[in-house]
Amino acid sequence: MNPLADALVAPLSGRADAVLIRPDGSTLSGDALYRLSGQIANVLVGAGLQPGDRVAIQAEKSVEALALYLACLRAGALFLPLNTAYTTAELDYFLGDAEPRVAICDPASEAALGPMARDKGIELLTLDGAGGGTLAEGAATAPDEFATVPREPDDLAAILYTSGTTGRSKGAMLSQDNLLSNTEALVETWRFTSDDVLLHALPIFHAHGLFVAVNVLLRVGGRMIFLPKFDLETVIARLPEATAMMGVPTFYTRLLSDARFDRDLTSHMRLFISGSAPLLAETHQAFEARTGHRILERYGMTETTMSTSNPYDGERRAGTVGFPLPRVEARITDAETGAVLEQGEVGILEVRGPNVFKGYWRMPEKTAEEFRADGFFITGDIARIDAEGYVTIVGRAKDLVISGGYNVYPKEVESEIDALDGVLESAVIGVPHPDFGEAVVAAVVREGGSQIVAEGIQTALQERLAKYKLPKLVYFVEELPRNTMGKVQKNILRDEYQGVFNK
């Protein structure tokens, strides 16, 4: 038994029809993907991989990168995908913390990562966006037969890093059953079948593009139009072949910005799903007015994969994230006392179910802090559940910015800015942005006599932080607004800068 490989990978064997449609229209059959996963699994084992080892990958989206995920499932390894935007400095932490046996990077990063990998005893292979590199070369000559390694439902299948409010990123450990149970719940809720063709334009290094999109389509034996990234022209051109699409709100606001995106273009579509960041009710309404489709919004987290969803048949209510998924429980608690609140009250959203992760990699104390004794996970999102059971996310208790669906923890950015010569202190906030939903803005206090300028800060940060975390604007202020306890009042800064991107 290997629950995920049995449910997602084994059915590909012998499947002659296309499972992936590449940007140029060429296809890859299920069987070809299956055999490729076997070849890659053999390369990994040849590199010394044992069941339970981690395999880290930072590479462009490609058929081979997807096959690597499937190979890890078959080999009983823990898949550890990393955002392609992460800098070498960020990777140093992830690779040091996760201690993968094998890491795969773009050939362009090999020179920078090679010494780091050698120091840490990691076998480094390469993979580029076109499917070239040492991993693919090794796979080409490796046998495609591979005996899938047995796994139990509680065994880990993946580690996904999520930033923490205190700065250090935490590796969320997801088990076979976490992922498979969620896939089953989503298939049931969203009615996916083998007739579905998903337009896949999300990255596959986060839960949305990987576990929600890929797992669901593999589970039902559907197809994916597998695009390297969200490119408006390509998405509009390929939409007529699809039946469903999953995206972050930015995908939908970008589509709405194009007059070609209309009722005709979407007439054969069955379902548009949104998540990872709040979808404005006005976007939901504009989308319906333009296309006749009501976007189905759902809610999740790396630690829980998906927890709630609007209904397929019932009312998809704008501004809400719908009901808890099958076998998932949700409740609202008081932020201070943890007491469960009355229906309709606003508080912290907590969830419990087979979807909830096994804890943070090598951080038992952090794990314990985020769970209640009865097994509920404290999401850190502020929400309300109405009389009909619809969950509405009304805010976040955690200091977090979500920009274009990527999470940015202000603390991490502030620490990097504060470490620069000439900076006394800083406060990083999220402000409304027409494209990314929220954008990162920094308010910086210079040290006395310092001449540091915004460009200097940006340049210094570029080496340290992924580009999407960089402040889009830096303001210099005399001092940060503080309350009587000395805590920075970010709400005052947010009010002050809230209009800067909408002028």
Specify the residue, 159 or 301, whose C-beta has the smaller distance to ligand MCA. Answer: 301
Q: Residue 467: name its binding partner from ligand MCA, ligand AMP, none (Cβ under 5 to 8 Å by kind).
A: ligand MCA
Token pair in block for residue 400: 């977090």
Token pair in block for residue 460: 């210094």
Residue 403 as a binder of ligand MCA (CB under 6 A): the answer is: yes
Residue 29, beta-bridge partner list: 18
| 296 and 310 Cβ atoms separated by less than 8 Å | yes
Judged by CB under 6 A, the residue of 396, 446, 472, 494 near ligand AMP is 396
Residue 353 as a binder of ligand MCA (CB under 6 A): the answer is: no
Residue 443, beta-bridge partner list: 427, 475
Nearby residues of 61 by Cβ (< 8 Å), 6 or more positions away: 129, 203, 204, 226, 227, 228, 229
Residue 94 as a binder of ligand MCA (CB under 6 A): the answer is: no
Residue 277 as a binder of ligand AMP (CB under 6 A): the answer is: yes
- In the block, tokens 């998809």 appear at 316
Q: What's the one-letter identity of residue 172? A: A
Specify the residue, 300 or 410, whose C-beta has the smaller distance to ligand MCA. Answer: 300
Sign of CA dihedral 205, 211, 216, 218: positive
Residue 109 DSSP class: G
Angle at 251 between CA 180 and CA 321, to 5 degrees: 55
Only one of the segments 214-222, 263-271, 294-302, 477-485 lies at the binding site for ligand MCA (rule: CB under 6 A); that segment is: 294-302
Judged by CB under 6 A, the residue of 379, 392, 403, 426 near ligand AMP is 379
d(CA 333, CA 317): 23
Residue 381 as a binder of ligand AMP (CB under 6 A): the answer is: yes
- In the block, tokens 């910005």 appear at 257
Residue 218 as a binder of ligand AMP (CB under 6 A): the answer is: no
Only one of the segments 21-29, 139-147, 343-351, 403-411 lies at the binding site for ligand MCA (rule: CB under 6 A); that segment is: 403-411
Judged by CB under 6 A, the residue of 176, 468, 480, 497 near ligand MCA is 468
Q: How far is the CB of 492 from ligand AMP (least distance, A)?
A: 22
| 229 and 201 Cβ atoms separated by less than 8 Å | yes
- Per-residue contact track with ligand MCA, 219 to 258, x per CB under 6 A? ----------xx-----------------x-x--------
| 351 and 328 Cβ atoms separated by less than 8 Å | yes
Long-range CB contact pairs, 331-335, < 8 A, 24+: 331/376, 331/385, 332/383, 332/384, 332/385, 333/378, 335/382, 335/397
CA nearest neighbour of 414 among 47, 236, 189, 165: 165
Q: 74 — phi, psi (to 5°)?
A: -65, -35
Residue 351 as a binder of ligand AMP (CB under 6 A): the answer is: no
d(CA 180, CA 6): 10
Q: Residue 15: name its binding partner from ligand AMP, ligand MCA, none (Cβ under 5 to 8 Å by kind).
A: none
Residue 162 as a binder of ligand AMP (CB under 6 A): the answer is: yes
**Which positions from 173 through 212 interact with ligand MCA, judged by CB under 6 A?**
202-203, 206-209
d(CA 383, CA 334): 11
Q: How many residues bind ligand AMP (CB under 6 A)?
A: 18
Token pair in block for residue 211: 């576990």
Specify the residue, 133 or 437, whose C-beta has the smaller distance to ligand MCA. Answer: 437
Judged by CB under 6 A, the residue of 81, 133, 221, 275 near ligand AMP is 275
Residue 370 as a binder of ligand AMP (CB under 6 A): the answer is: no
**Which positions from 284 through 313 interact with ligand AMP, judged by CB under 6 A?**
297, 299-302
Q: Residue 278: name its binding partner from ligand MCA, ligand AMP, none (Cβ under 5 to 8 Å by kind).
A: ligand AMP
Binding site for ligand AMP (CB under 6 A): 162, 207, 275-278, 297, 299-302, 321, 379, 381, 393, 396, 402, 407
Interacting residue ranges for ligand MCA, rule: CB under 6 A:
202-203, 206-209, 229-230, 248, 250, 275-276, 300-302, 403-406, 436, 467-468
